[in-house]
Chain A
Amino acid sequence: MSRTTKAHLEQDGPTERTPPDKPNPVTPSGIEVPVVVTPDMVDFSGIGQPGQYPFTRGIFETGFRGRLWTIRQYSGFGTAEESNKRYRFLLDQGQTGLSVALDLPTQCGYDPTDPMARAEVGKVGVSLSNLAEVELLFDGIDVGGISTSFTINGTASIIYAMYCAVADKQGVPREKLTGTIQNDILKEYVARGTWIFPVKPSMRLIADTILFSNEQTPRFNAISIAGAHVRDAGCTAVEEMGYTLANGLAYTDELIRRGGEVEKFARRLSFFFYVHMDFFEEICKFRAGRRLWAKLMKERYGVEDPKAQMFRFGVVCGGSSLIGAQPHNNIVRVGTETMAAVLGGAQSIFTCAFDEAFQIPTEHSAEIALRTQQIIAHESGIARTVDPLGGSYYVEWLTDQMEAGMMQVIEEIEEYGGVEKAVEDGWLQMKIAQRASERKRAGDSGETVIVGQNYFRRDDQNEGIGEVFKLDPQATARVIEKFERVRDTRDTAAVESSLAALEKAASDDGENLVPYLIDCCHAYATVGEMVATLKGQWGEFEEPVRL
């Protein structure tokens, strides 16, 4: 292993910089932090007790003493059979919940045989084009006995319908189902890009799924309002939380419009965020967001039931804070981020694998990510008492600062005309692209230190990754073969009548669409067919391309 030479540094440009010998006094969200925070700078009266409004110190009176967070690793690739094997492995290793990654054709509503889908089948997740695939995915796994999280948005209502249908097939009562679908379309328009329909019908579909789920699968979270993707796309921790709460308010308004009772549905709203590297900003982001959400629910909607004021959230540690250079350093980053998530009071945590910046994790790297959480949960003692940082001058001061910043973000969107308009116009997308540029420039210039990337480089730093994950090259062919077999052997008349009923219901705003989707799933109608039917009624979102 050769060490960096001066000549190498000069050749590589940015690495000739001297690393700073003092910490940056300004947080990534732009908050200027004093050298020392003194008691007179903090208002302790707004903190409250754990388990009580406004929940600064957490939603549970006993914190993690009652129960540790859910360890939930994201995985899924290739065929349903391969993913099923990985799930069984993770369950055997002590994982307590499943998290399903889906391929892009399933997420965007194309069947695997569609020309748009061809290059992407099984690439970033598992292909679930019809109920037969979902049956294979959960083969030998009792869906009544596990909690499953699906990262799905544009087709979330369809995948939820599939999960209900698979429970029906396994003979599991639907009310026993637990888990989450992401089902957050607003941030897809802004950052993640798996939108399908225009904003208004998409909002309806989301509200329908939540309202149906409240009735039939009351332990299931039918939405996970996600800040993670806008964060990874470029915005700060304060903006991440501000945009996400603004989206939460937009869904709340739509649910009320469709006849939902806020005291009831708000109990099942959940949230999802990234944790990046600025330790105290991340901790305070969660404390501030939790408190602000409770206040918004109470003050704007008159919500009285504490359970409906509670801000429940899961997190991902990693994302764009992980880099390809000296990849094993990412294990340390994920460990640090996991501690911030725990100290912020997360309900579930997913830790990225160290190689996740550039490939689908191998079994080895996925295991290290899981072990990271287990070490923090069981060895560090971090979960022993509720909100151990509560009352710290700095933590409470920063929590207040961030909460004020988040409220400003919400007000700015409301002044623009609301989230839906901001998204339709491309205003929010443009703001985030500009932020991404600024963040990248700050790394390029050395203003932000990224160890191994802009400082402390080594000339062989991309080596030593070890095993490389390989997708089975035959996976696409097998997915297509299975798909054609199902399509050719199913009861065509049942498919057609279920799709016709869906089409009719889509044109009637008074109908809840989920029962129709479940009927389509039972008839083995495909995701592509259901989406095409709805597109026929609603059209497609037209992406505002603004730079």
Chain B
Amino acid sequence: MSLKGKRILIAKPGLDGHDVGAKIIALALRDAGADVIYTGLRKSPDYIARVAVDEDVDAVGLSMLSGSHKEIVAETVQCLEALDASDIKIFIGGTIPAEDHKGLKAAGVCGIYTAEMTIDDVLSAIDKELAA
């Protein structure tokens, strides 16, 4: 796996406080050799985009469980565009209904990872996206 040295921001946008999934993925990415930055709770898309640019990350992972993923993804994509950083990839996790997947991918999300996937499968999927 080539996650070693990749810079990844794991973020909790919105008001949702369920951070288990975000932390599990952050810990696993770190163990796989990536440089991981975790934002903590309640960050706005604007804040997340600024940290992503300042930290020069390869990808941003957004964890969302409260059903506000469509709005938050759209705003984050916009904020990254505004900072001329559309090359930063966005992947998401959490409670994301299957019927929303197509729309989210069209909106600019490269991967959607839910609790049923194994950690290793999530890591390989991220790895593949970042190698592409």
A: which residues have CB within 8 A of B? Answer: 13-14, 104-105, 107-108, 110, 115-120, 123-124, 188, 191-194, 232-234, 323-325, 358-360, 433-434, 436-437, 440-441, 443-444, 453, 462, 468, 471, 543, 545, 547
A104 — which chain B residues lie within 8 A by C-beta?
14-16, 66
CA distance A13 to B95 in the complex (A): 23
B27 — which chain A residues lie within 8 A by C-beta?
433-434, 437, 547
Judge whether A468 and B99 touch: CB under 8 Å: yes
A325-B116, A468-B99 known; A437 vs B28 contact (CB < 8 Å): yes
Judge whether B36 and A117 touch: CB under 8 Å: no
Judge whether A323 and B38 touch: CB under 8 Å: no
Judge whether A436 and B23 touch: CB under 8 Å: yes
CA distance A324 to B38 in the complex (A): 27
A104-B14, A108-B42, A110-B15 known; A547 vs B26 contact (CB < 8 Å): yes
Judge whether B15 and A107 touch: CB under 8 Å: yes
Judge whether A188 and B118 touch: CB under 8 Å: no
Judge whether A323 and B16 touch: CB under 8 Å: no
B30 — which chain A residues lie within 8 A by C-beta?
547
**B53-61, B67-75, B79-87, B105-113: which lies at the interface:** B67-75
A120 — which chain B residues lie within 8 A by C-beta?
14-16, 66, 68
Judge whether A193 and B41 touch: CB under 8 Å: yes
Query: Of B40, B97, B119, which contacts A358 at CB under 8 A?
Result: B97
A108-B42, A116-B44, A118-B71 known; A193 vs B118 contact (CB < 8 Å): no
Minimum distance in angstroms from B74 CB to a CB of chain A: 10
Task: Across the A-B interface, give the 3 residue pairs with the lowest CB-CB distance, nearest first.
Answer: A193-B17, A104-B15, A119-B68
Judge whether B66 and A193 touch: CB under 8 Å: no
The 19 listed contacts between A and B (C-beta, < 8 Å) are A13-B121, A108-B15, A110-B15, A120-B16, A120-B68, A123-B66, A192-B17, A192-B18, A193-B17, A194-B17, A324-B114, A324-B115, A433-B23, A434-B27, A437-B24, A444-B119, A543-B40, A543-B41, A547-B23
B95 — which chain A residues lie within 8 A by C-beta?
358-359
CA distance A525 to B72 in the complex (A): 29
Query: Of B20, B44, B75, B98, which contacts A234 at CB under 8 A?
Result: B20
B127 within 8 A of A: no
CA distance A441 to B117 in the complex (A): 11
Minimum distance in angstroms from A134 CB to a CB of chain B: 20
Judge whether A444 and B118 touch: CB under 8 Å: yes
A116-B44, A468-B99 known; A123 vs B116 contact (CB < 8 Å): no
CA distance A481 to B38 in the complex (A): 36
Judge whether B116 and A323 touch: CB under 8 Å: yes
CA distance A325 to B114 in the complex (A): 11
In the complex, residue of chain A having the shortest beta-carbon distance to the beta carbon of B10? A547
Known interface pairs A123-B68, A192-B18; 8 further A-B residue pairs with C-beta atoms within 8 A, sorted by A's residue number? A116-B15, A123-B67, A188-B17, A437-B27, A441-B119, A543-B41, A547-B27, A547-B30
Judge whether B44 and A115 touch: CB under 8 Å: yes
A108 — which chain B residues lie within 8 A by C-beta?
15, 42
Query: Of A110, A116, A433, which contacts B20 at CB under 8 A?
Result: A433
B118 — which chain A residues lie within 8 A by C-beta?
13-14, 443-444
B120 within 8 A of A: yes
CA distance A324 to B97 in the complex (A): 10
CA distance A434 to B66 in the complex (A): 23
In the complex, residue of chain A having the shortest beta-carbon distance to the beta carbon of B75? A119
CA distance A120 to B67 in the complex (A): 8
B116 — which chain A residues lie within 8 A by C-beta?
323-325, 453
A462 — which chain B residues lie within 8 A by C-beta?
98
In the complex, residue of chain A having the shortest beta-carbon distance to the beta carbon of B68? A119
In the complex, residue of chain B having the shortest beta-carbon distance to the beta carbon of A188? B17
A117 — which chain B residues lie within 8 A by C-beta?
15
In the complex, residue of chain B having the shortest beta-carbon distance to the beta carbon of A12? B121
Judge whether A547 and B38 touch: CB under 8 Å: yes
Judge whether B23 and A193 touch: CB under 8 Å: no
